[in-house]
Amino acid sequence: MAFKIDKKIKGYNVVKPEDKATPAPAAAPVKEAAPVAEVIQMHESLERPETLVGNTYKIKSPLFEHALYVTVNDIVLNAGTPHEQRRPFELFINSKNMDHFQWIVALTRILSAVFRKGGDVTFIVEELKAVFDPRGGYFKAGGVYMPSIVAEIGGVVEQHMKSIGLIHDPEMSDATRQLIAEKRAAYEKANAPKPVAAVTPAVGSGDVGDNQGAAAHTNASGFPAGATLCAKCNTQALVLMDGCQTCLNCGYSKCG
């Protein structure tokens, strides 16, 4: 049987009889790509949901007659997915003290606007903690120095961001912990009070040797009473050892 070829031949191949008997393999079905959910990022046009999750923190400062209550509410993005995350959405400060009502309201509105803007908002912590009160700061419970009430609000925001995973503390190595423990033991040993020889009290005299076996005094932070403020961790844990200022809390040393 003859076939007429109307087109120009560009190539050819020989088909054997056994090739005709073998059916051509069927093409594998093309799988449709699974739909990928859009990952929602924080931005200023994101609508506020009806319900938010958050925490309230109490600030008791000697500069204020009444305590401040700082509430930070978070929005949960991409809930139920591997991309789920909590981001701060708004901040409120409440107190019975109305003397500073104006700047407190202004601060809460500005911080809430920064949170809703999106991006990296952790910078706001250092900005707040760098605010100093011209009248002087104070020590909070635990011996940590606060240069101002605004700085303590910044500390609260930092604590909240750490709890939701936005800020991570650098972990102190075991070698650093051991070094700090050795330095503290050496300092306490060098500054331990010397025992006083026992003296038999005379009849009718008062107690003698009240200072015998007296333990070294510590400050509110639990460090030696003579410790000064560390510029790195703001804790009264800086002591003079071998002619060098050394922090017994974070290991900071002016001598490197």
Q: What is the pLDDT of residues 161-210, one digit of tens each?
A: 999 988 887 776 777 777 778 777 877 777 776 665 555 555 555 454 44
Decide if 34 is inside a domain: no
Are 139 and 240 in a shared domain?
no
Q: Is residue 209 part of a domain?
A: no
Q: Examine the domain organization and report whether 60 and 145 are in the same domain.
A: yes
User: Is 98 in the same domain as 137?
Assistant: yes
Asked, for residue 68, whether it belongs to a domain, the answer is: yes
User: For residue range 92-120, what is the model confidence (pLDDT) as tens digits?
Assistant: 999 988 888 899 999 999 999 999 998 89
Give the residue numbers spanning the domain of 239.
171-190+218-256
Residue 33 maps to a domain: no
3-state secondary structure the chain: CCCCCCCCCCCCCCCCHHHHHCCCCCCCCCCCCCCCCCCCCCCCCCCCCCCCEEEEEEECCCCCCCCEEEEEEEEEECCCCCCCEEEEEEEEEECCCCCCHHHHHHHHHHHHHHHHHCCCCCHHHHHHHCCCCCCCCEECCCCEEECCHHHHHHHHHHHHHHHCCCCCCCCCCHHHHHHHHHHHHHHHHHCCCCCCCCCCCCCCCCCCCCCCCCCCCECCCCCECCCEECCCCCEEEEEEECCEEEECCCCCECCC
Paired tokens of 13: 């191949």
126 and 179 part of one domain: no
pLDDT confidence tier of residue 214, bands split at 50, 70 and 90: very low
Cβ neighbours of 107 (radius 10 Å) = 16
Q: How confident is the model at residue 23 (pLDDT cuts 50, 70, 90)?
A: low
Co-location of 62 and 154 in the same domain: yes
| pLDDT tens for each residue of 5-19 | 777 777 777 777 766
Distance CA 236, CA 225 (A): 9
Domain count, the chain: 2
Whether 25 is in a domain gets the answer no
Q: Are residues 152 and 117 both part of a single domain? A: yes
pTM: 0.62
If asked whether residues 62 and 144 sit together in one domain, one would say yes
pLDDT surpassing 90 at residue 69: yes
pLDDT for res 156? 95
Same domain assignment for residues 151 and 130: yes
Q: Is residue 151 part of a domain?
A: yes
179 and 233 belong to one structural domain: yes
Same domain, 61 and 151: yes
Q: Please indicate, yes or no, whether residues 74 and 124 belong to a single structural domain of this protein.
A: yes
Q: Do 68 and 144 belong to one domain?
A: yes
Evaluate whether 132 touches 108 at the Cβ level (below 8 Å): no
